[in-house]
Amino acid sequence: MFKRVFFHGLVAGVLAAIAAIIYNRIYFFATEADFSKILNIPSMIGLSLVICMIATFVNYGLVKWLRQKGEIVFNFLFSIISFACVMFPISISLPLDIKMPELFPGLAVPMVFFPVIAWLTIKPLFQAKEH
Amino acid sequence: MKKFIYPFAALALMIASAFTVIKSQDWKIADNYSIKFDGGDPAGEFKGLKGTVSFDPAALATSKFDVSVDVASINTGNGMKNTHAKSDAWFDATKYPTISFTSTAITKTPTGYLATGSFTMHGVTKPIAIPFTFANNTFTGSFEVNRMDYNIAAGEPNHGAQKFKVDVNVPVTK
């Protein structure tokens, strides 16, 4: 069972990273605001994979512990935590040499939701394999 | 009486010339200056430094600083804090667009120099003494400002720091 959850998390992490990289490029071309010191390709890949791997362990633990209700609790938990994490890019103080810090939330806030969106998007694929 | 005209003219010229000799060196502010403030939270910097810097260690009596920074240039590294700082809740950058310092006297101290003068912020002018050093064509100084003295968010004494350490590093060129 853990193998299925692991691949679910891995694919979600990769998809979230791809989405973050694409959005980062679009945002840069739209605003010319360079936040590459904070958010660059390695950090976006790393963060996406770490978040989805943490989600993997939490999902596995909750399903093991609460059985069928585990998935429901996990989905709520992942969404609520993602929503709460919106405060992080809004409240962070960037290094002073980074120009236009007021544009940083516009880049980072949507990215906060990419892991949970990716996780829930591909969930039917991995559920289907179980049946 | 006419015979005194030329001696007086010569004397006047001599005195005027003397002032040009002891006049302090005027400096141009280089672009890579930094004016940083730190109150724990928030901390940040100002840009838009301009004004006249007239300083000669050998002629402190005629040395003078008359400088200002642009309030709207405040950068805390956080867009939300920048907007809040510029608003009428804090600096009110629209009404008070600059923070300025004008020296009235510069004296030598054992560790460097001391510039005394008036510091204007948020429409309030207070006397201030700023210790500084001058080496390698760079002015370096540090002083403390209490926002409550300048009626900045005076109704919210516990909203952010009250005392801010200001570190100034200003390279200059001739």
Closest Cα of chain A to B76: distance in Å?
7
Query: Does B79 sit within 8 Å of A102, measured CB to CB?
Result: yes
Angstrom distance (rounded) from CA A51 to CA A54: 5
CA closest to A89 among chain B residues: B78
pLDDT in tens, A64-89: 999 889 999 999 999 999 999 999 99
Q: Which residue of B has its CA nearest to A88?
A: B78
Q: What is the share, in percent, of chain B residues with pLDDT greater than 90?
A: 74
A40-67 residue pLDDT tens = 999 999 999 999 999 999 999 999 999 8
% of chain A beyond a pLDDT of 90:
89
Q: What are the chain A neighbours of B44 within 8 Å (beta carbons)?
A: 93, 96
Give pLDDT, residue A56.
96
* pLDDT higher than 70, residue B123: yes
For chain B, list the domains and their CATH numbers: 24-173 (2.40.128.110)
Res B23: pLDDT: 60
The total number of structural domains that make up chain A: 1
Nearest CA-CA distance, residue A25 and chain B, Å? 21
Which one of A87, A90, A93, A99 would you mutate to disrupt binding with B, by most B Cβ within 10 Å of its Cβ?
A: A93
pLDDT at B25: 81
ipTM over 0.85: no
pLDDT in tens, A89-98: 999 999 998 9
CA–CA distances in Å: residue B66 to residues B71, B95, B149: 16, 20, 21
Q: Under an 8 A CB cutoff, do A102 and B75 touch?
A: no
Say yes or no for a CB contact (<8 Å) between B79 and A91: no
Q: Name the pLDDT band for B40 (thresholds 50, 70, 90).
A: confident
Q: Is pLDDT at A130 greater than 50 in this prediction? A: no
pLDDT average, residue stretch B147-171: 90
| Boundaries of domain holding A51 | 2-130
Nearest to B79 among A95, A96, A103 (CB): A103
Residue B28 Cα to chain centre, angstroms: 14
* Residue B50 contacts residue B68 (beta carbons within 8 Å): yes
Chain A partners within 8 Å of B45 (Cβ): 96
Cβ contact B32:B67 at 8 Å? no
* Predicted local distance difference test score (pLDDT) of residue A44: 96
- Are the Cβ atoms of A93 and B79 closer than 8 angstroms? no
| Structure-block tokens of residue B20 | 């040009």
Q: Which residues of A sit within 8 Å Cβ distance of B? A: 90-96, 98, 100-105
Output the CA–CA distances (angstroms, integers) from residue A38 to A19, A43, B165, B172, in the order listed. Answer: 17, 8, 27, 32
**Cα–Cα distance measured from residue A60 to residue B31, given in angstroms and rounded to the nearest whole number:** 56
B40 contacts: CB under 8 Å, gap ≥ 6: B161
A120 vs A123: CA distance, rounded Å: 5
List strand residue ranges (DSSP E) for chain B, in order.
26-29, 34-38, 43-54, 64-75, 98-108, 113-121, 124-135, 138-146, 163-173
Task: State which residue of chain A sits closest to B45, comparing Cα positions.
Answer: A96
> Residue B158 — pLDDT band, cuts 50, 70, 90?
confident
The chain B residues in contact with chain A (CB within 8 A) are 36, 42-45, 75-83
Q: Distance between alpha carbon A5 and the CA centroid of its chain, in Å?
A: 16
Over residues B55-103, the pLDDT tens digits come to 999 899 999 999 999 999 999 999 999 999 999 999 999 999 999 999 9
Residue range B4-26, pLDDT digits in tens: 777 677 666 566 555 554 566 88
Task: Pick A95's closest partner by Cβ from B77, B82, B83.
Answer: B77
Q: Using an 8 Å CB-CB cutoff, list chain B residues near A100.
A: 79
Mark yes or no for CB contact B79/A101 under 8 Å: yes
Whole-number Cα distances in Å, A27 to A32, A106, B19, B135, B167: 8, 8, 59, 44, 35
C-beta atoms of A101 and B45 within 8 A: no
Is pLDDT above 80 for A2? yes
